Amino acid sequence: MKLYFYFFLSLLFLVGCKTVQPIATIDDPKNQKSDVIIDLVNINNDQVAVNFLPGKLTTESPVFYLPRIIPGTYSSDNYGQFISNIKAFKKNGDSIPIKKLDKNSWKVTNATQLHKITYLVNDTYDIEKDHDVFSPAGTNILKDTNFILNLHGFIGYFKETKNKPYVLSVLHPSKLEAATSHNTISNIHPKLAKSTNEKVDSFYYNRYAEVTDDPIIYGDLDSETFKINDIEVLLSVYSPNQIHTAKALLPSMKKMMSAQKKFMGDINSTKKYSILVYLSTLASNDAMGFGALEHNNSTVVVLPERMPLQALETTMIDVVSHEFFHIIAPLTVHSEEIHNFDYYEPKMSEHLWMYEGTTEYFAQLFQVKEKLIGNSEFFARIVDKIRNSNQYDDRMSFTKMSKNILKNPYKKNYANVYEKGALISLCLDIIIREKSNGEKGILDLMKSLSSKYGAKKPFLDSELIDVVIAFTYPEVGHFLKTHVIGTEPINYADYFKRVGLQYGTNTINTEFFMHNDISYLSPNQDKNEVYFNTSGEYNSFLKSLDIQPKDVLLAINGQKFDLNNAAYIFELSKQWKTGDLVELSIRRNGEQFNTKTTITEKPTSLKKSLIEIPKEKLTPLQLTTKKTWLN
């Protein structure tokens, strides 16, 4: 999952399977499969009716679950909270007792006689202020218009059914097109549709993990398909006001994915991949969590519809490339905790530095290696990641954080997996390049791990570091044990020097609250607040106000600010001129105070940067390491 914070158009936004072959019939003489029917036609009170027929159960009092957490989100989202009016029935229609145990589980009595469970599902997009479900992992119900079927929000399981086949039938208006990477099968409920205005799509899944891994979007979709070598890619866009089309996004997506495939080489075995794009109107009952969520052969992307095409393309390249690289980790290389994922009481892996950090590093590295961006842009992105990582606890063990990511104080450091996590992989890449005289890098390590394990063979969490060392060098092990397992901060300048770069500081002209679209303010969505992510040490305006990292901005010249109007801060600052008095209300460590300054000139900032050392001053090893790292 990629989560983004960015400012755009004077608004503050939060951006943070294998293909099943078609089968004509389903042979299930022992009644082992689960049959699920989702009704997208008869919508009442903005809720979807679901029928769950689990097949023959042998346990007398089993528990029916909806996921508390799903892979890739690293947060407890409690999808059972969106379920209501749940009932259980025998085949003759008589009811069976079913009792709610907690948000996500219900106990069924006399389950050996159970024929079906019925319930209603409410969507997450309508009420995002009331829960923490990230939009790309959420659900949408707009009658006759659009449905986001992240199936973990609609379909549950018994422990008995979790590793047995599922057959899903979706009744939907015939005018709505479906987009998914999963192949349809022959309709097993031919009488489900009552008129020519209705249609039934049926899908077969080998186990529940496949159900949760294949999202489906229904709507008036604009779709394009293209080929990247032997991969068939579907780009499907839902733009409610028809502002954006798949055709307009196609050139940039095709160029980007072609470069990714070239970068990855033969590491990817996916034959079909879908980019499912939902564009939000930004209405109060629409999606507001912008970014994407990965799946084995698809990604769900949620972004604002009002973004200009160029900005949408740029964001899509960052978002989709990150999710596509998840094919390597954790979708191919992963631990037992992920392979046998427990949706109710999950055990988390220690290795987010690889799952998210290496993925994010690849999403940046391939762009410079395949000439989508230049060296200077790549260097600037690295420096921004160092700056962003300074917001988090730099002495927190990454493996310990990962293992405990669902609870504090580790949970609040999660976003650092995209910052320091990527920087960890950068340093590992440089070490491997240097030790191999440029012949290998971290991508070669991931290919070796893919060959050793693969999608069906998980590794043991406790053994991964030793395996990585065996495939690389002792220096890699020392780095991991010191800076990833251990708590010692990384001296990035040392690693940059190995590739002929000097990590230095320059003075640049800037704005009051941002520079080059990088804001000095970050959102705290949980508290509906904005806070400073930098110190006054780096910005002359903020320095005059004695601003410190994590200071919460409450008001400017008496005008209160929160997430609802924070974007106006930037418009307001554009009106300031020399001689104006600016007073900020700040909360620091629970205490509120005011600080003020008189504007004397346009602000400047100290900007960390990577400066290329002249070639004549580099050793042959530095030249080789740098060349093979970037080219």
The burial class, CB within 10 Å (0-12 / 13-18 / 19+), for 573 is middle
Report, as an integer, the average pLDDT of 109-120. Answer: 96
300 contacts 237 by C-beta, under 8 angstroms:
no
Q: How far apart are CA 108 and CA 62, in angstroms?
A: 6
pLDDT at 528: 85
pLDDT tens for 492-518 read 999 999 999 999 887 878 889 987 667
pLDDT at 565: 84
Mean pLDDT, the chain, integer: 91
Q: How far apart are CA 266 and CA 486, in angstroms?
A: 34
Q: Cβ of 339: how many Cβ atoms within 10 Å?
A: 17
Q: Cβ of 70: how many Cβ atoms within 10 Å?
A: 22
pLDDT at 500: 97
Domain ranges of the chain: 34-217, 507-607
Residue with tokens 């996500």: 104
Report, as an integer, the average pLDDT of 599-621. Answer: 90
- Structure-token pair, residue 501: 């770069």
Q: How far apart are CA 262 and CA 16, in angstroms?
A: 27
- Per CATH, 34-217 and 507-607 having the same topology is answered no
Q: pLDDT confidence of 23, banded at 50, 70, 90?
A: very low
pLDDT of 618 strictly over 90: yes
- Which residues have a Cβ under 8 Å from the Cβ of 569 and sit 6 or more positions away? 513, 521, 530, 553, 556, 561
Helices (H) and strands (E) in the chain, counts: 16, 34
137 contacts 148 by C-beta, under 8 angstroms:
no
Distance set, CA 622 to CA 111, 435, 491, 499, 628 (Å): 68, 11, 18, 5, 10
Helix (H, G, I), strand (E, B) or coil at 383: helix
**pTM (2 decimals)?**
0.84
pLDDT tens for 550-592 read 999 999 999 999 877 887 898 899 899 999 999 999 999 999 9
Q: pLDDT confidence of 28, banded at 50, 70, 90?
A: low
Q: Where are the alpha helices (DSSP H) in 290-438?
A: 309-325, 336-339, 352, 359-369, 375-389, 398-403, 420-435
CA nearest 429: which of 330, 325, 358?
358
pLDDT tens for 242-275 read 999 999 999 999 999 999 999 998 876 678 999 9
User: CA 90, 93, 94 angle in degrees (round to 5)?
Assistant: 70
pLDDT tens for 50-107 read 999 999 999 999 999 999 999 988 889 999 999 999 999 999 999 999 999 999 999 9
pLDDT of 392 strictly over 80: yes
pLDDT tens for 436-492 read 999 999 999 999 999 999 989 999 999 999 999 999 999 999 999 999 999 999 999
Q: Please, what sign has the CA dihedral across residues 460, 462, 466, 472?
A: positive
pLDDT at 268: 64
% residues pLDDT > 90 (the chain): 80
pLDDT tens for 325-362 read 999 999 899 999 999 999 999 999 999 999 999 999 99
- Domain 507-607 in CATH 2.40.110.10: no
Q: How many CA atoms lie within 13 A of 367 on its CB side?
A: 24
Q: pLDDT confidence of 11, banded at 50, 70, 90?
A: very low
pLDDT at 1: 52
Distance set, CA 283 to CA 136, 279, 286, 305 (Å): 17, 11, 5, 11
pLDDT at 61: 96
Report, as an integer, the average pLDDT of 42-53. Answer: 97
Residue with tokens 């006054």: 536
- Structure-token pair, residue 287: 């999606």
Report, as an integer, the average pLDDT of 277-300. Answer: 93
SS3 letters for 499-547? CCEEEEEEEEECCCCEECCEECEEEECCCCEEEECCCHHHEHHHHHCCC
Q: Which DSSP letter does residue 289 get?
A: B
pLDDT at 9: 32
pLDDT at 29: 55
SS3 letters for 559-570? EECCCCCCCHHH
pLDDT tens for 193-236 read 999 999 999 999 999 999 999 999 999 999 999 999 889 999 99
CA nearest 154: which of 61, 34, 291?
34
pLDDT at 269: 63
Residue 247's H or E segment, with its range, is helix 246-264
SS3 letters for 11-50? EEEECCCCCCCCCCCCCCCCCCCEEEEEEEEEEECCEEEE
Q: pLDDT confidence of 520, banded at 50, 70, 90?
A: confident
User: CA 169, 246, 277 angle in degrees (round to 5)?
Assistant: 55
What is the CATH T-level fold of the domain 34-217, as seen in this structure? Immunoglobulin-like (2.60.40)
Q: How far apart are CA 224 and CA 237, in angstroms?
A: 9
